[in-house]
Amino acid sequence: MSQSQDFIYLSPPHMGGQEQRYVQEAFDQNWITTAGANVDGFETELAQYLQAPAAAALSSGTAALHLALLALGVGSGDEVFCSTFTFVASANPILYVGATPVFIDSEPNTWNLCPLTLEKALIDRKQKGKLPKALMLVHLYGMPAKMREIVEITQHYGVPIIEDTAEALGSRFHGQLLGTFGAIGAFSFNGNKIITTSGGGALISADNQLVKKAKWLAQQAKDDKPFYHHSTVGFNYGLSNISAGIGRGQLQVLEERIEQRRAIFNNYKNLLQNIEEIEWHEEPKGFFSNRWLSCFTTKKGSKISPEDLRLALLKENIEVRRLWQPMHRQPLFQGAESFGGEVSEDLFARGLCLPSGSALSLTDQERIADVISKAFLA
């Protein structure tokens, strides 16, 4: 491994300058728990950005997905359809509530859930007399799914959508922000996301009652009595006032971060334009990606594999990641039913995520592109 150059991380946090002010206010006011002005402010400001009536600030995106399922009444004996091409945190909450995941394959344009495969699966379930209780829909790497078709299909069958928008804050489908199409939108503010609260997440909905229920569950489900009285299992899922302060500062630079990451994607395309074996994750017309990560696939039959590239870049102190291994291929979900799978398996076999942090310099991008070019031209 080269020791001469600094390590380039995949997607490190990037502070905007105002975060410390909000955090200091939390200390000055001695509000360092899961309540306070920053929590209230972050929920209000996030909801305003997303043009949603309400938001719940939570400890993680996974917590948001868990509470979304509970708020929709999903439980033991239910099925939940889920994108197979995703991170495991999209599927794990289905197990938390005792439901059964059924995985749906991707389509090759957006890499997200395939509407045709979804409809096939819903027809199958209707014929068997039991539809899924919800659809866990993921927007991968910032790219919107084909929402027009997916919303139309799910509305026809009466299946609510939970939008896993962990990677896609600020992305839009024909001008509408992601996370606002389904019954509930869930977001992540982990340290590697486009903005961060260090660790954290949020849930939004056009239905105030769903948000209210999620917030109640996140605060140990304490009933409205002058003493501790509990009739339902609750959770300790609140976001701290300190973390929410970081989030308030980060929200102020969100649009700038989106512009920076989109510029990074375009720079990569320009720097590697002579490598014919690379196929970029392009936006269809009307789709606007925040470009959380810049991703590509190698052409079928390429002599260089994503793993070859990963190792070559790691040798030069550069972190990259393979695309997600599909959930139906995970040992954890062995035996789970899936509809399709060939598209997501092919993407996993051929795809790579490049360093995409919004503070990444052009010099570092040139360094990354040089390693990739040498691998293909060797």
Residue 63: what pLDDT? 98
CB of 211 within 8 A of CB of 70?
Answer: no
Rounded to whole angstroms, how far apart are CA atoms 190 and 141? 14
Rounded to whole angstroms, how far apart are CA atoms 291 and 284? 13
| Alpha helices (H) along the chain | 19-29, 37-50, 61-71, 92-96, 115-127, 147-157, 208-218, 241-251, 254-271, 306-315, 342-350, 362-377
State the 10-residue block means of pLDDT for the chain, 378 residues long.
79 97 96 94 98 97 98 98 98 98 98 98 98 98 98 98 98 98 98 97 97 97 93 96 98 98 98 97 98 97 96 98 98 97 98 98 98 94
| Alpha helices (H) along 82-146 | 92-96, 115-127
Closest to 199 measured CA to CA, from 89, 96, 294: 89
Rounded to whole angstroms, how far apart are CA atoms 47 and 73? 23
Residue 5: what pLDDT? 86
Within 10 A of 95 (CB to CB), how many other CB atoms are there? Answer: 13
Enter the DSSP assignment of 190.
-
Rounded to whole angstroms, how far apart are CA atoms 347 and 359? 28
CB of 224 within 8 A of CB of 199?
Answer: no
Rg (CA), the chain: 21
Domains of the chain and CATH, by start: 19-251 (3.40.640.10), 254-377 (3.90.1150.10)
CB of 295 within 8 A of CB of 351?
Answer: yes
Rounded to whole angstroms, how far apart are CA atoms 138 and 60? 16
Rounded to whole angstroms, how far apart are CA atoms 363 and 366? 5
Phi first, then psi, for residue 340 (nearest 5°) are: 75, -165
Rounded to whole angstroms, how far apart are CA atoms 132 and 126? 9
Rounded to whole angstroms, how far apart are CA atoms 162 and 68? 7
